[in-house]
Structure 1
């Protein structure tokens, strides 16, 4: 039985990844930031094949903890960087755990000959820190794919900047280590929506869906989304989990970074669909998903299906 270590395996995306690997016969080691807080991971204990699941506490900034976590794994999925829109100190809450955590992770992986596959859950921000606004001089109707020049703005949200910089760390590491024994693949999902597996109330992804459903704006960033009726590209959290499994089990994907996206709708239509009403606009495909569909064999679920799952 192969063993996968899932950093952030009890989070919104990580929980679905944990479920997918368990269902496919893997032994799973999932990390949590606080082992004493059982609400963070107790929803995983009733999953199919949960007898093959182990929960470990992990701080990605601690190299020794990373070594212990990774040491007996064949595959590592890194989905453990923080996603939060509200913060007090961007450096300590976003930049350090995202960028330094990625640097530490790659340094440790390099020393672990047992690890053969690594999948990093990056973000659309690795390609466009302005998301969900267009990149640079592009219009809202212009498409975007993996061949476009990545766009970084220092005016973007610190979370997006941190994810962009972390992706640059990964690219530089791959370029400077041409003879690695491990294959590294990245996934860059757009807005990840869908049903949470836990009952936690601190998930940014599920919280954002609640805000959009009720037209609530707790901060200027969310208010801007409403004021501009921004076009939001969305991907189902289950599709992100499926992509992580595919990327981990298909060979020949070293150095690739796949955009994961389904359809795009304006915020006003997302509000309607979250309230079980029909959208006023037809969906668009702004962030192209053909590369992931081809290489990973993925169909992407519609936004309508995704938002219906959230409301269930």
Structure 2
């Protein structure tokens, strides 16, 4: 079985990815920004086949560490960019680690001949930095898919802008390097929901579900979501992990970026479902998932079942 390097493999999405690859019998190496903080990754040791699991310290800004991390991997999954809604300095907390980290990663991978496949965990922000609001020129009920022109606004949250620019960096690299020794594919999940595999308290996805369940607004951004009853396109975390597994193990997908998405509901209905009540509104399908269904064989579970697992 191939050796898989997972940058960010102990986070909310990353833990599900790590579990999937271990279950399938692969050798898995997971990065940790600080190997001494075992509480960040200790839950991984509860997964099956942990005799095939390795934890290695990695700062993506450190090219020497990055080179060492990928040196014996055939497949590398990069999901190590920060997901932060509350920040003090967007440049150092979001833009630098996301964009410069992507640039460093591409440079190192280009010099590592054993790597055959790279999967980037991008974001719906790679297509629309206004998410969950509509992209510029669109209305709330307008559908959106991979063929739509990506939209970026400097008024958007810095996290979304950073993810957009990082995805553009990957696209430019693909265009400028047509003869790489490895394939690059990306996934762009919408709002990722579901059950965490750890007790970590630093997960933004888990924390956002907690806020919605209890109708708490710790900052103006979340308050705006309540005030507008914003509609969220969502996807289950297990479906995201499965999609990434498929991308990593299917060849011939170089240069593609797949939206991973299920149903759309307003925040008021998300709160109801997180409290095990039925939504008032019917689910909408705003962000499209046909490409993932057709080319990856994906099926996406309902959002009510995802939120009931939180």
**Which residue of structure 1 aligns with residue 250 of structure 2?**
250
Deviation at 1:202, TM superposition (A): 1.1
- Separation in structure 2 between the aligned mates of residue 33 and residue 237 of structure 1, nearest angstrom: 22
Compute the RMSD of aligned alpha carbons: 0.5
Gaps of 5+ in 2: none
- TM-score normalized with structure 2 length: 0.99
Note if contact 2:275-2:308 (Cα within 8 Å) is conserved in structure 1.
Answer: no
- Separation in structure 1 between the aligned mates of residue 157 and residue 290 of structure 2, nearest angstrom: 28
**Which residue of structure 2 aligns with residue 205 of structure 1?**
205
- Separation in structure 1 between the aligned mates of residue 57 and residue 87 of structure 2, nearest angstrom: 23
Q: 1:269-311 CA distances to partner (integer Å, 9 max, x unpaired)? A: 001111111100000110000001111111011100110111x
- Separation in structure 1 between the aligned mates of residue 218 and residue 295 of structure 2, nearest angstrom: 39
Equivalent runs, 1:207-222 vs 2, <5 Å? 207-222=207-222
**Which residue of structure 1 aligns with residue 237 of structure 2?**
237
* Residue 108 (structure 2) pairs with residue 108 (structure 1): yes
**Which residue of structure 2 aligns with residue 290 of structure 1?**
290
Q: 1:23-50 CA distances to partner (integer Å, 9 max, x unpaired)? A: 1110000011111111100000111001
Q: 1:214-243 CA distances to partner (integer Å, 9 max, x unpaired)? A: 110101111111110011000001011001
Deviation at 1:68, TM superposition (A): 0.3
**Which residue of structure 1 aligns with residue 160 of structure 2?**
160
* SS of residue paired to 2:206: helix
Equivalent runs, 1:85-164 vs 2, <5 Å? 85-164=85-164
* SS of residue paired to 2:188: strand
* SS of residue paired to 2:46: coil
* SS of residue paired to 1:235: strand
**Which residue of structure 2 aligns with residue 2 of structure 1?**
2
Deviation at 1:110, TM superposition (A): 0.5
**Which residue of structure 2 aligns with residue 227 of structure 1?**
227
After TM superposition, which residue ranges in structure 1, 4 or more long, deviate above 4 angstroms?
A: none
Note if contact 2:77-2:119 (Cα within 8 Å) is conserved in structure 1.
Answer: yes
* SS of residue paired to 2:229: coil
* Residue 39 (structure 2) pairs with residue 39 (structure 1): yes
- TM-score normalized with structure 1 length: 0.99
* SS of residue paired to 1:222: helix
Deviation at 1:2, TM superposition (A): 1.1
- Separation in structure 2 between the aligned mates of residue 196 and residue 212 of structure 1, nearest angstrom: 16
- Separation in structure 1 between the aligned mates of residue 107 and residue 288 of structure 2, nearest angstrom: 32
- Separation in structure 2 between the aligned mates of residue 69 and residue 149 of structure 1, nearest angstrom: 35
* SS of residue paired to 2:120: strand
* SS of residue paired to 1:25: coil
Q: Alignment length, in residue pairs?
A: 310
Q: 1:169-204 CA distances to partner (integer Å, 9 max, x unpaired)? A: 000000000001100000000000111111011110
Note if contact 2:15-2:44 (Cα within 8 Å) is conserved in structure 1.
Answer: yes
- Separation in structure 1 between the aligned mates of residue 229 and residue 272 of structure 2, nearest angstrom: 13
Gaps of 5+ in 1: none
* SS of residue paired to 1:10: coil
* SS of residue paired to 1:45: helix
